[in-house]
């Protein structure tokens, strides 16, 4: 337990130290890589709540990532074109304010998670995986066939959105924003894992009939977890769009849902920092191996196979022992 | 006569050609232990599942504390105060003994949707859980992972989790199974006092325990109750001797 805490602290500090070093050394590209890792980690932290703690293997979390991304894209698009968003009964002005965009992204991804979860959670096992995948694909094709916001080509945002008091165009400041949000999500996850709710969610993964027998409705517990999970992933989507200043249907792709699962498996399922370790490793490999070969996913696949076969607890499990992340 | 706490009225359940419950009517009165015995496959567990809401009967009703609960699910019945133990331990094996008990306490106090305060340091949840563990003699194992418990200790934990609910009636499916002589005797003594807190519907194969504890015994054979009565009546019932006790008598 203590060893895992130390390891978590080391990962958190490492993710902070690398961009700080890059900043002092004048290497903005490395800062961007670290920002990408932090954002993908945030999306993974969201998924980990459903998948790790709740055992809900969602292959559709890209839906929430994409909803968050498009919330940013649509609001910023209307702001930069000075064309208010026409909602029929009334119109809404676009915005370039990050807090407003984040809130919108979270509200809409929560609603999407509520709808998808309410239907998907009536199934389990492989059916759950398939139905979440199907919902993800529905969002993907919807985005492709929505010409108002770029369709297949996506939407470009000319200038990064703003945050009061900060210069978000400065890579290190934007990194700081993403890093703080990641840490906040990790604290939230740790708190939830220790709460009575986390206890029930974790027990429902192991023995659902026990949880019902003590008067706790398993379906509702899972639905709440799924909504919180989707909301965090949605927030990550809004940041990801801001990092690239671009949104496209690929944010909804099932490959992305798969990558989020890969982070969790690489880092260690149900480990608090599992998705952080996994996302950092993924971004590093993508950068180095991607530079060597276009087919770097082959190496990633081999690594994944190795982890699944020989290191079931992932990176964190291998380094910190087999206890679960919460006591 | 006092009104029964829990009762089934003409419950019937079929699985294809198998009739697992046929017109089963039995009741559980305040302060009593009502034992349900019968050979393997007689339909005891199936009856328990219908009483607890895991299975819907094809016909008949279940009443609990004067309410018809036939259409209610497990959660609703648990919230009314039905405390159940499983024939095969259903515990969160990766969690500690204390966490399993705290889960019960969280369910009982309707706190399962509390997201902020840590469950294990919550005073009232912890007190309820520790009291239940103490009563079944598992206090020393609170921090042990449930997977590391012996079979007998898991059976004790099953009972402890049910205790955290402070139930109005207990439904126990073979709590003595695999306990060994000493364990069975300890649990028998415990259930003997527990009946004054809430009556117990006890499915059990351990005849020493059944005849030591039961105020009434019902005998289930092929889904049908062939006899209900006190210990003496069941011991001397010719149909029971033939169908069931015959092998042992
Ligand atoms: N879900 C099911 N589908 C089909 N048949 C079932 C099902 N559940 C139980 N049965 C059958 O119903 C009958 C009663 O089973 P049940 O488990 O209730 O017996 P039991 O009295 O609890 O036996 P034991 O003493 O072995 O625990 C058996 O013939 C069993 O095979
Ligand atoms: Mg049985």
In the predicted model, is pLDDT for residue B174 greater than 80? yes
Strands B6-15 and B18-28: antiparallel
Residue B44, domain member (yes or no): yes
List Cβ<8 Å contacts ≥24 apart for B28-32.
B28/B4, B28/B169, B28/B199, B28/B200, B28/B201, B29/B1, B29/B2, B29/B4, B29/B5, B29/B199, B30/B2, B30/B5, B30/B199, B31/B195, B31/B196, B31/B199, B32/B195, B32/B199, B32/B200, B32/B215, B32/B216
The DSSP 8-state label assigned to residue B3 in this structure reads P
* Whether residues B173 and B201 fall in one domain: yes
> Which of the residues A212, A213, A271, A321 would you substitute to probe the B interface, choosing the one with the greatest number of B C-beta atoms within 10 Å?
A213
CA of B16 to the centre of ligand 2 (A): 19
Band the pLDDT of B96: cuts 50, 70, 90.
very high
Taking the Cβ of residue A197 and every Cβ of chain B, the question of whether any pair is shorter than 8 Å is answered with yes
The DSSP 8-state label assigned to residue A177 in this structure reads H
Residue B14, domain member (yes or no): yes
Ligand 1 atom, smallest distance to B49 CA: 18
Percent of chain B with pLDDT over 90: 81
Mean pLDDT (whole number) for A272-287: 94
* Whether residues B177 and B157 fall in one domain: no
* Whether residues B28 and B139 fall in one domain: no
Residues linked to residue A98 through DSSP beta bridges, in sequence order: none
DSSP code string of A128-154 = HHHHHHHHHHHHHHHHHT-GGGTGGG-
CATH of the domain at B51: 3.40.50.300
Of B79, B95, B161, the CB nearest to A202: B95
Strands B82-85 and B169-173: parallel
pLDDT reported for residue B246 = 54
Taking the Cβ of residue A103 and every Cβ of chain B, the question of whether any pair is shorter than 8 Å is answered with no
Band the pLDDT of A121: cuts 50, 70, 90.
very high
* Whether residues B75 and B173 fall in one domain: yes
CA distance A5 to B131: 31
Give SS3 for B203.
strand
pLDDT reported for residue B102 = 98
Angle of helix A196-206 relative to helix B97-108, nearest 10 degrees, comes to 110
Of B74, B95, B102, the CB nearest to A212: B74
Domain-terminating residue out of B166, B192, B214: B166
Residues of the domain holding B160? 94-166
Residues of B in contact with A209 (CB under 8 A): 54, 74, 86, 90
Residues of A in contact with B103 (CB under 8 A): 196, 199-200, 203, 210-211, 214, 216
Residue B86, domain member (yes or no): no
Angle of helix A62-81 relative to helix A98-120, nearest 10 degrees, comes to 150
Band the pLDDT of A312: cuts 50, 70, 90.
confident
User: B25-40: per-residue pLDDT in tens?
Assistant: 999 999 999 999 998 8
Residue B205, domain member (yes or no): yes
Ligand 1 atom, smallest distance to B44 CA: 21
pLDDT reported for residue A322 = 64
pLDDT reported for residue A323 = 58
Residue B111, domain member (yes or no): yes
Nearest CA in chain B to A322: B94
Residue B88, domain member (yes or no): no
* Whether residues B76 and B174 fall in one domain: yes
CA of B173 to the centre of ligand 1 (A): 13
Domain-terminating residue out of B145, B166, B187: B166
Mean pLDDT (whole number) for A72-96: 87
* Whether residues B173 and B154 fall in one domain: no
Mean pLDDT (whole number) for A214-237: 98
pLDDT reported for residue A86 = 80
DSSP code string of A186-248 = HHHHHHHHHSHHHHHHHHHHH-HHHHHHTT--HHHHHHHHHHHHHHHHHHHHHHHHHHHTEE-
* Whether residues B31 and B136 fall in one domain: no
Strands A91-92 and A85-86: antiparallel
CA distance B62 to A74: 56
* Whether residues B71 and B101 fall in one domain: no
Band the pLDDT of A2: cuts 50, 70, 90.
confident
Band the pLDDT of A327: cuts 50, 70, 90.
very low
Domain-terminating residue out of B111, B141, B166: B166
Percent of chain A with pLDDT over 90: 77
CA of B38 to the centre of ligand 2 (A): 10
**Ion ligand 2 — residues with CB < 5 Å:** B 44-45, 87
Give SS3 for B60.
strand
> Which of the residues B80, B91, B103, B164 would you substitute to probe the A interface, choosing the one with the greatest number of A C-beta atoms within 10 Å?
B103
| Closest among A317, A269, A307 to A285, alpha carbons compared | A307
Nearest CA in chain A to B98: A327
* Ligand 1 cavity residues, CB under 6 Å: B 15, 18, 20, 38, 40-46, 87
| Number of domains chain B is built from | 2
Tokens read off for B89: 């331990």
Residues of A in contact with B142 (CB under 8 A): none
In the predicted model, is pLDDT for residue A83 greater than 90? no
* Whether residues B72 and B181 fall in one domain: yes
* Whether residues B53 and B126 fall in one domain: no
C-alpha dihedral, B117 to B119 to B124 to B128, nearest 10°: 170
Residue B89, domain member (yes or no): no
* Whether residues B75 and B2 fall in one domain: yes
* Whether residues B173 and B248 fall in one domain: yes
Residue B87, domain member (yes or no): no
Q: Whose CA is nearest to atom 5 of ligand 1?
A: B15
Sheet holding B200-203, edge to edge: B82-85, B169-173, B200-203, B33-37, B216-221, B224-229
Q: Nearest bound ligand to CA B173?
A: 2
User: B43-85: per-residue pLDDT in tens?
Assistant: 999 999 999 999 999 999 999 999 999 999 999 999 999 999 9
pLDDT reported for residue A241 = 97
């Amino acid at each position: 337990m203590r060893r895992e805490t130390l390891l978590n602290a080391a990962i958190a500090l490492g993710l902070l130290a690398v961009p700080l070093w890059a900043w002092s050394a004048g290497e903005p590209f490395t800062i961007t890589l670290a920002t990408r890792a932090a954002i993908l980690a945030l999306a993974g932290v969201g998924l980990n709540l459903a998948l790790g703690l709740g055992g809900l293997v969602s292959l559709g979390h890209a839906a929430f990532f994409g909803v968050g991304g498009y919330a940013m894209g649509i609001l910023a698009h209307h702001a930069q074109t000075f064309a208010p968003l026409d909602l029929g009964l009334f119109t809404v002005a676009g915005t370039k304010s990050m807090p407003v965009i984040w809130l919108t992204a979270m509200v809409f991804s929560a609603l999407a998670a509520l709808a998808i979860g309410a239907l998907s959670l009536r199934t389990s096992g492989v059916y759950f995986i398939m139905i979440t995948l199907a919902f993800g694909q529905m969002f993907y094709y919807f985005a492709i066939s929505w010409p108002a916001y770029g369709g297949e080509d996506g939407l470009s945002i000319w200038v990064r959105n703003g945050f009061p008091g900060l210069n978000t165009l400065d890579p290190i400041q934007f990194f700081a924003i993403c890093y703080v949000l990641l840490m906040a999500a990790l604290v939230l996850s740790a708190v939830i894992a220790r709460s009575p709710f986390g206890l029930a969610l974790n027990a429902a993964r192991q023995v659902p009939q026990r949880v019902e027998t003590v008067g706790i409705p398993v379906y509702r517990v899972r639905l709440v977890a799924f909504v919180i999970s989707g909301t965090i992933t949605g927030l990550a989507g809004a940041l990801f769009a801001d990092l690239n200043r671009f949104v496209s249907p690929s944010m909804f792709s099932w490959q992305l849902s798969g990558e989020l699962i890969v982070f969790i498996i690489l880092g260690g399922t149900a480990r608090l920092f599992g998705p952080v370790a996994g996302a950092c490793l993924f971004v590093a490999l993508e950068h180095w191996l991607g530079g060597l070969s276009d087919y770097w996913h082959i190496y990633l696949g081999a690594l994944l196979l190795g982890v699944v076969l020989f290191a079931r607890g992932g990176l964190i499990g291998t380094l910190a022992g087999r206890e679960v992340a919460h006591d | 006569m006092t009104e029964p706490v829990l009762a089934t009225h003409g419950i019937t359940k079929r699985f294809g050609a198998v009739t697992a419950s046929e017109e089963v009517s039995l009741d559980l009165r305040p302060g009593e232990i009502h034992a349900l015995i019968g050979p393997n496959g007689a339909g005891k567990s199936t009856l328990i599942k219908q009483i607890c809401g895991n299975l819907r009967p094809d016909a008949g009703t279940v009443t609990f504390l004067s309410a018809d609960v036939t259409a209610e699910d497990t959660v609703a019945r648990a919230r009314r105060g039905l405390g159940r133990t499983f024939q095969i331990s259903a515990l969160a094996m990766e969690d500690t003994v204390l966490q399993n008990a705290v889960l019960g306490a969280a369910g009982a106090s309707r706190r399962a949707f509390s997201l902020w305060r840590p469950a294990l340091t919550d005073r009232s949840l912890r007190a309820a859980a520790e009291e239940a563990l103490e009563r079944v003699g598992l206090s020393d194992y609170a921090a042990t992972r449930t997977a590391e418990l012996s079979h007998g200790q898991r059976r004790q934990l099953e009972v402890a989790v049910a205790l955290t609910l402070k139930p109005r009636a207990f439904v126990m499916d073979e709590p003595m199974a695999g306990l060994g002589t000493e364990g069975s005797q300890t649990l028998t003594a415990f259930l003997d006092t527990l009946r004054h807190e809430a009556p117990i519907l006890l499915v059990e194969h351990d005849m020493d325990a059944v005849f030591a504890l039961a105020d009434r015994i019902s005998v289930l054979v092929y889904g049908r109750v062939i006899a209900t009565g006190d210990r003496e009546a069941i011991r001397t019932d010719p149909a029971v001797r033939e169908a069931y006790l015959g092998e042992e008598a």
